[in-house]
Amino acid sequence: MTAQLFDTKKEQQKVILTAIENQQNSSNFAYTIEEFKNLAAANDLQVVDVLTQKSDHPSAGTYFGKGKVTELKELVQAREAQLVISNDDLTATQIRNLERLIGNGVHVVDRTALILDIFAGRAKTKIAKLQVRLAQKQYQLPRLHTSLANELDQQGGAGGGSFTSRGSGETKLELNRRTIEEQIIQIKTELKTLLAASSTQRKQRDHSGLKTVALVGYTNAGKSSWMNRIIGKFAENTGDSDEKKVFEKDMLFATLDATVRAIRLPNKRRFLLSDTVGFVSNLPHNLVASFQSTLDEAAHADLLIQVVDVSDEHYHEMIATTKSTLKEISADQIPMITIFNKADKAGMTYPERNGEDLIASALDDKSLDALISLLDKHLFADLKTVDMLIPFDQGAILNRIIQENQILKQDYEDQGTQITVELPETQIHEYQRFIH
């Protein structure tokens, strides 16, 4: 099981969030704090206070200045907090010094550790669990002499356990660099095997010539809701559409695993639709690297659908987060349409086209129809209408063409079946000998 730092099965931990405001983040600092609070809530932590300081040069030894550290210690005691979380990454030295100065067994972690823990709790598949463990170990490596690293290892060795579920009989285990490095190598080896199979599946899908669409966007914007609406109405195998739906809940990072489903429109046009892990500002680099295979679904797509929660007052910042993450995974040049989702909550008129984008609600049938129309236009713009003559002894090929494409006209000639059909460029090359 993937290690979690915070024991959410017990009584909610009281936490104090800390952050430093500087020239670089001052313009959106309020949003940064709000997002930070949401991340804590996503891990079922009770935020009892937020302590901030304006400084362009955080203390190398304690993050905060001396006076602010004293204030933090007093605040921890007054609020009876058990945990302090920094919005910025902390060094091992900063963590050790802060824990020593605050005292009373209070643990200090940072935002990256918090996000890693959320991912650990959400991971379902073996690949996702391994990816999270890899990111945890890489994060843990330079922090071997902190309580964070020690507790992670004490609870379950390579497998890990909960950060706060300490028992009276637990033994302190000494972590060393060699152990962590060996664990990282082991995880990478196991991941390589599993990802090779995923890569083969992706290549097979690419070879099929089917167009691919990937849902992207800020976490909890509604990607899974749209995925399930499309699956429910247009899944290629409608009999098991419910089984093919993805987990959907009003929470950050509800789904981590890339899900790919075959979609067939009423006009017989087919494409593959994938749901990807949600984005958040300053997503830890180790997580981006570890989830590269999942994010590759977006990087290799023919079209991206960015889902934006337009009811959130900070949706412009969320769009910027998506843009920067797409650039990091080299997916920023892929054609994209944007759904300004949750228009019902925002009090906006919907569905309504805004250029090539869509103001909509995932709960609305007309919004779904409008999205499908927009998808159809963008995704199949390269289709060409051709006339084909299929000999009678090539019935299997004719059946395949009829199953996969929209037939505009069909007649029977002495030499075979005459059809007028819309074909993508790949199939035009494949069936060139039948085209006239």
Question: For the residues of 366-395, what is the DSSP string, one character each?
Answer: HHHHHHHHHHHHHHTTT-EEEEEEEEGGGH
Give the gyration radius of the chain's Cα atoms.
Answer: 26
Contacts of 96 (CB under 8 A, 6+ apart): 145, 146
Q: According to the annotation, is 171 in a ligand binding site? A: no
Cα distances (angstroms) measured from residue 380 to each of 193, 196, 243: 35, 30, 28
Q: Is 68 annotated as a binding residue?
A: no
Q: How far is CA 59 from CA 21, 93, 284, in A?
A: 13, 11, 22
3-state secondary structure of 44: coil
**Residue 105 among known ligand-binding residues:** no
Check the annotation: does 278 bind a ligand: yes
Strands of the 407-412 sheet, one edge to the other: 384-391, 416-423, 407-412
373 carries a ligand binding annotation: no
| Residue 369 labelled as part of a binding site | no
36 annotated as ligand-binding: no
Q: Is 208 annotated as a binding residue?
A: no
Beta strands of 313-415 (E only): which ranges?
336-341, 352-354, 357-359, 384-391, 407-412
Q: Are 405 and 422 in contact (CB under 8 A)?
A: yes
Q: For helices 292-299 and 126-140, give the axis angle rounded to 10 degrees.
A: 120
222 is in an annotated binding site: yes
Q: Was 247 annotated as part of a binding site?
A: no
Per the annotation, does 224 bind a ligand?
yes
* 256 annotated to bind ligand: yes
255 assigned to a ligand binding site: yes
| 198 labelled ligand-binding | no
Q: Is 324 among the annotated ligand-binding positions?
A: no
Q: Was 47 annotated as part of a binding site?
A: no
Assess contact for 76 and 106: CB atoms under 8 A: yes
219 is in an annotated binding site: yes
Compute the distance between CA of residue 205 and CA of residue 193 in angstroms, rounded to an integer.
19
State yes or no: 361 annotated in a binding site: yes
344 is in an annotated binding site: yes
DSSP 208-268: TT-EEEEEE-BTTSSHHHHHHHHHHHHBSSGGGTTTTPPP--SSTT---S-EEEEEE-TTS
The answer to whether the annotation marks 253 as part of a ligand binding site is: yes
CA distance from start to end of the chain: 60
Binding residues for GTP: 217-224, 253-257, 275-278, 341-344, 361-363
Binding residues for Mg(2+): 224, 255
Binding residues: 217-224, 253-257, 275-278, 341-344, 361-363
